[in-house]
Amino acid sequence: MKNAESSMEPVFRLEYHKKNRMQKLYKYLVLAFLVLLLGNKAQSQSSTGSTDTTITSIEADLVNIFQQKAPKNYKVAGVKVVGNRFFDENLLISIANINVGDDIKIPGGDNFAKAITKLWSQNYFSNIEIYLTKLEGKNIWVEIEVTERPRLSKFYFRNTRKTESEDLSGKTGLVPNRVVTENMKITAVEAIKKYYAEKGFQDAKVEIQETKDSSINNTLTLNFIVDKGIKVHINNINFGGNANVEESKLKKQLKDTHEQSRFTLFPTYDKGMIVEAKHYTFDDYLKEKGYLTYSRTKKVLDPYVRIKFSSAKFNQNKFESDLDNILNYYNSLGYRDAVILQDTVYHTKKGDLNVDI
């Protein structure tokens, strides 16, 4: 670059000495032109800016209407709803209860707050806002802007069999094109867990994955990821407070709540939650000459050998019915004031269930 500059320097100086006067004239003309150009541009920008930022007296009144020191009454001259796609405008206006001709005190009135609360309680919208769009004297125009919640496009049950998915479709109550709400999702999850609990899967877990359906605007696809866990059975049923009635007779009253079969040389004993489990030892068996009776022989062998042909799955609804059966049995024996003080179901160390009554 230095060599280039040094090579052009003599030419520049030569031109400068020959045309010095002409250069000065051109310079002044260019400067004058730039000044005029910049002046016109600044004037144009100033003119445009003043047009965009001018606030009319009506707009100023709308801005300040909620900041008035003294409340004033205004009459609703018009109501409009925007943002609604699936819901009828007249229906939403009726729910909001803001009608043409209504008197509204501003500030201090609660008409707008009540309108938002009523619309929000429908669980159909994710956002609701109310604006005043026009003011003429004491007349105001109201605009209600709503954002509708997404609707259900499709739903799937993952990690389930085909027959299970068909059953769950009916039990969850999911219907395409309905608004997706938290209550809808909670109800569906509870129905899925209940369905599997009745099949013996007491610890089933459900996760929901939501994805937008690009084929239909503002819709969601719900995927219910099901983890059934392991199937659990009833290990032991323990009774407390039954001093006058044998446990074996009470277990016979449980028509749909049964213990599972067992065959082991090393039985486990779990601590009860509300009932202290009574272990019938071999010493007790000998002292009571239990070998003379079938029931006591069965009782001493129960921790090691138990043969059952009925299902040992736990069903909460059937269990509650069985509790009524126990009370009915006590009543038949003359215990009219018999009550079940407490009952509970809990997991054993091996993961099965124990029932304390």
Buried/exposed 57-66: b ≥16 CB within 10 Å, e otherwise: eeeeebeeee
188 near 196, Cβ under 8 Å? no
225 near 159, Cβ under 8 Å? yes
Q: Quick one: DSSP state of residue 111?
A: H
- Any idea how long the chain is? 357
267 near 305, Cβ under 8 Å? no
- pTM surpassing 0.85? no
Cβ-in-10-Å burial (0-12, 13-18, 19+) of 88 comes to exposed
| Residue 259 pLDDT | 84
What are the backbone angles phi and psi of residue 346, rounded to the nearest 5°? -145, 160
| Residue 69 pLDDT | 82
> Which residues share a beta bridge with 346?
354
Which residue ranges of the chain lie beneath pLDDT 70? 1-60
Chain CA centroid to CA 89, Å: 27
Cis link prior to 107 (omega < 30° from 0)? Answer: yes
* Residues whose CB falls within 8 Å of the CB of residue 218, separated by 6 or more in sequence, listed in order: 85, 148, 150, 151
| Residue 32 pLDDT | 47
The strands making up 125-136's β-sheet, listed across from edge to edge, are 103-106, 72-82, 139-148, 125-136
| Residue 142 pLDDT | 93
